[in-house]
Amino acid sequence: MIHPILSALIFAGVNFYFNQLGKPVYISRFLSLILISFISFFLSFFLSFHLAFTVAFLIVVAAIALRIYSGGFVVEWKNDAIFYSTYFFFLFLRSLVPEAMGAEKLMDFAFLSSTFYAERFPPLDPFFAGGKLDFYYYFGYVIAAVITKISLTTPDYGFNIAMASIPAYTLSILFGFFREFNLDKRVLALVPLISGNPHSVYEFFQSVLSGKLPGFLYYWNSTRIIPDETYRFVITEFPYFSFIHADLHAHVVAIPVKILFLAILYYIYKDGRYAFLLPILLFVSYATNSWDFPAFLLLSLLVVLKRRGISYLYFTLGLLIVAVYASTMNVKAGFFFTSERTNFKEFLMYWGFILLLSYVYFREEIEKVPHFLIALILAVISPIFLLIPLALYSLMRRDFVSYLVLVAVLFVASCEFFAIDSRMNTYFKFYILSWVLLSIPAGISLVQIYEKKKALALVLAALMLIYPVVATPVRHYKAELTLDATKFLKEYSRGDYEAAMWLRGKDGSVIIEAAGDCYTLGGRIAAISGKQAVVAWQCHEVQWRKNGLELAERIEDVRKVYEYGNCSLTNSIAEKYNASYIILGKFEREMYRVRENFSCFELVFSFEGTKVYAKR
Tell me the DSSP string of 206-250. Answer: HHHHTT----TTHHHHTT--SEETTTEE-----HHHHHHH----H
pLDDT at 57: 98
pLDDT at 184: 86
Mean pLDDT of 523-544: 92
pLDDT tier, 173 (very low <50, low <70, confident <90, very high otherwise)? very high
pLDDT exceeds cutoff 80 at 308: no
Burial (CB count <10 Å: 0-12, 13-18, 19+), residue 95: buried
Question: For 450-482, how does the pLDDT look when each residue is reduced to its tens digit (9 = 90+)?
Answer: 999 999 999 999 999 999 999 999 999 999 999
pLDDT tier, 114 (very low <50, low <70, confident <90, very high otherwise)? very high
Question: Of 53-62, 69-78, 102-111, 413-422, which gets the smallest average pLDDT?
Answer: 69-78
Distance CA 162, CA 570 (A): 40
Distance CA 311, CA 276 (A): 8
The amino acid at residue 359 is Y
Distance CA 107, CA 613 (A): 25
Alpha-carbon dihedral 494, 498, 500, 504, rounded to 10 degrees: 160
Q: How many helices (H) and strands (E) does the chain have?
A: 30, 9
pLDDT tier, 542 (very low <50, low <70, confident <90, very high otherwise)? confident
pLDDT at 161: 98
pLDDT at 107: 95
Question: For 119-138, how does the pLDDT look when each residue is reduced to its tens digit (9 = 90+)?
Answer: 999 999 999 999 999 887 89
Mean pLDDT of 576-583: 96
pLDDT tier, 323 (very low <50, low <70, confident <90, very high otherwise)? very high
Q: What is the DSSP letter of 612?
A: E
pLDDT at 544: 83
Q: What is the DSSP letter of 291?
A: G
pLDDT tier, 2 (very low <50, low <70, confident <90, very high otherwise)? confident
Residue 582, beta-bridge partner list:
512, 613
Mean pLDDT for the chain overall: 94
CA dist list (Å): 72 to 68, 75, 601: 4, 10, 62
pLDDT exceeds cutoff 80 at 1: no
pLDDT at 99: 95
The three-class DSSP label of residue 178 is helix
CA dist list (Å): 106 to 101, 360, 430, 523: 5, 42, 25, 8
Q: Are the beta carbons of 409 and 159 closer than 8 angstroms?
A: no
pLDDT tier, 374 (very low <50, low <70, confident <90, very high otherwise)? confident
pLDDT at 443: 98
Distance CA 120, CA 43 (A): 9
Domain ranges within the chain, ordered by starting residue: 192-244+336-476, 493-615
The three-class DSSP label of residue 440 is helix
DSSP H/E element including 419:
strand 418-420
| CA torsion through residues 7, 13, 15, 17, sign | negative
Nearest to 34 by CA among 287, 275, 235: 287
- Polymer length in residues for the chain: 616
Read off φ and ψ for residue 520, nearest 5 degrees: -115, -170
